[in-house]
Amino acid sequence: MDASVRFKFGDVSLIIQRAMANGLFIQRNDYMMARHVMPAMLQYFHTEACLLAPFYETETNFLVVKNERLMSKAVLDPWLACAFAPRCIYPGHNWRSLVTCPEGKQGYSLCHRFDQAALGVILVTLFDLKLSHLVAPDKNTTYYLAKDDKVDYFPDTV
């Protein structure tokens, strides 16, 4: 869970139930996955952008993973390995130019989503079209994202 996640209320039991039943809880956004994956990452995972085109990008800002061997060995280990591999998550010194996608432009590999792209590629490779059964179908009402939200964690008296 990243710092932008805010819970609307305390009951997260539906999220936990879903993660326990499916192995993970993850949501998708409305972007085509192939748009946000650089060629170096595609090469690392031995795949092509056109194979990712039918899939929506998964969001890594809030992810619940069941502590089981399948998720550990088949999802988390490759994700970690990609993080340490040269040019997988980190596409090179021009990474800043890849953070923002061009507005209205269509195509493959237009920008890069770093760890989010890697997890998406792993999940598609592992589950293929069945991935749609594992991803939460719509925005969850339990939490929301508050990007650029400022929180005063420490009062001025400290």
For the stretch 78-105, pLDDT in tens is 999 999 998 899 888 888 888 888 888 8
Rounded Cα–Cα distance for residues 22 and 16 (Å): 10
Q: Where are the beta strands (DSSP E) in the chain?
A: 5-7, 24-32, 56-65, 135-136, 143-145
For the stretch 25-66, pLDDT in tens is 887 778 889 999 999 999 999 999 999 999 888 888 888 889
